[in-house]
A and B are shown apart, each in its own frame.
Chain A
């Protein structure tokens, strides 16, 4: 089992460019999440999904869009990148939501916007 995988691992964009980050999980988890992690701050939830075909906004959704067309994949899109979106992006999945919902994380994507 690969667990949670993310592509690409690194990316450099110019302001205004667009890109899509791909997350895939092979654990048949219902819930999937996109976070960003910035120095000195906790993980912040961008968007999440509670099942195939569903998405919901998290704490910092502006400037991002997501899609979950297949249960195992969760895509994060940046339509017009800004320097403020320079960050490390983590995808995570969990079997379910609610109380005990251990999240399994992918290795992260390091994005720099110039």
Chain B
């Protein structure tokens, strides 16, 4: 079967750095997305990786290792507004998006 694993919940301090991991086992791989979802709202796009390596976009970076079936989202200089769920999703061999259950990130002052 297809499986995406993320930690259920993480806590971090305002101003710090946090890394959210995602491991996947899917039938094929055609890319990986990270989305942010604030409570009661819709998911919004953060990043896309299809090749190995680090993609940086402001305070957020996303890393991919296809050989290890692993990605992480790195958030720097955490702000209270970063409190949200972070969803990892993989495009499989049929070009379907397989979603992880999401990681709820709690930021404390």
Partners in one complex: yes
Which A residues fall within an 8 A CB radius of B?
4, 40-45, 58-59, 90, 97-108
Partner of A42, one of B41, B45, B99: B99
Q: How far is the CA of A101 from the CA of B99 in the complex (A)?
A: 14
Task: Report whether B101 and A99 are in contact in the complex, using a CB–CB cutoff of 8 Å.
Answer: no
Chain B residues closer than 8 Å to A4, beta-carbon distance: 42
Partner of B95, one of A90, A97, A106, A107: A97
Minimum distance in angstroms from B62 CB to a CB of chain A: 14
Which B residues fall within an 8 A CB radius of A?
4, 8, 30-31, 33, 41-45, 48, 50, 87, 89, 91, 95-102
Closest B residue to A105 using CB positions:
B42
Chain B residues closer than 8 Å to A45, beta-carbon distance: 96-97
Interface class of chain A by DSSP: loop
Task: Report whether A42 and B101 are in contact in the complex, using a CB–CB cutoff of 8 Å.
Answer: yes
The number of A-B residue pairs with CB atoms under 8 Å apart is 51
- Which A-B residue pairs are the 8 nearest by beta carbons? A42-B99, A105-B42, A43-B99, A42-B101, A102-B45, A99-B30, A99-B31, A105-B43
Minimum distance in angstroms from A84 CB to a CB of chain B: 18
Chain A residues closer than 8 Å to B4, beta-carbon distance: 42
